[in-house]
Amino acid sequence: TQLLEQSPQFLSIQEGENLTVYCNSSSVFSSLQWYRQEPGEGPVLLVTVVTGGEVKKLKRLTFQFGDARKDSSLHITAAQPGDTGLYLCAGEGGRSNYQLIWGAGTKLIIKP
């Protein structure tokens, strides 16, 4: 069974602090995606990383794909209350070409 494990499950920090969220697997994926989900809404795609070792930046968010394409991290610099949400990683192209394998998510709360 392919699994993606996210850590931490829950993180509550003050505005202005930095944080890193991790997504780990024993399986290799052809790409890994990060989504953000607000309560009662659908996941919104933030980024897709494809190449081992790839780093992508989206304003204060930095995404990294591990060299072996089994893990990824999301780093947020100077977190803001607007960053509050559930962050999900999803792997593509493992056992299946069509099915995304989802992590359980990291619930992030940024306190003003």
Partner 1 sequence: EPEVTQTPSHQVTQMGQEVILRCVPISNHLYFYWYRQILGQKVEFLVSFYNNEISEKSEIFDDQFSVERPDGSNFTLKIRSTKLEDSAMYFCASSRGTGGAFFGQGTRLTVV
Query: Interface residues with partner 1 (CB under 8 A)?
Result: 30-31, 33, 35, 40-45, 47-48, 50, 88, 90, 92-93, 96-100, 102-105
| Six token digits for residue 87 | 């962050």
How many angstroms from the chain centroid is the CA of residue 80?
Answer: 17
Rounded to the nearest whole angstrom, what is the least distance from the CB of residue 2 to partner 1 in the complex?
11
Count of C-beta atoms within a 10 Å radius of residue 66: 20
User: Please, are residues 108 and 85 in contact by the beta-carbon 8 Å criterion?
Assistant: yes
Least CB distance to partner 1 at residue 29 (A) = 11
Nearer to partner 1, 11 or 47 (CB): 47
What's the min distance (Å) between Cβ of 101 and partner 1? 8
- As a whole number of angstroms, the distance between CA 11 and CA 76 comes to 12
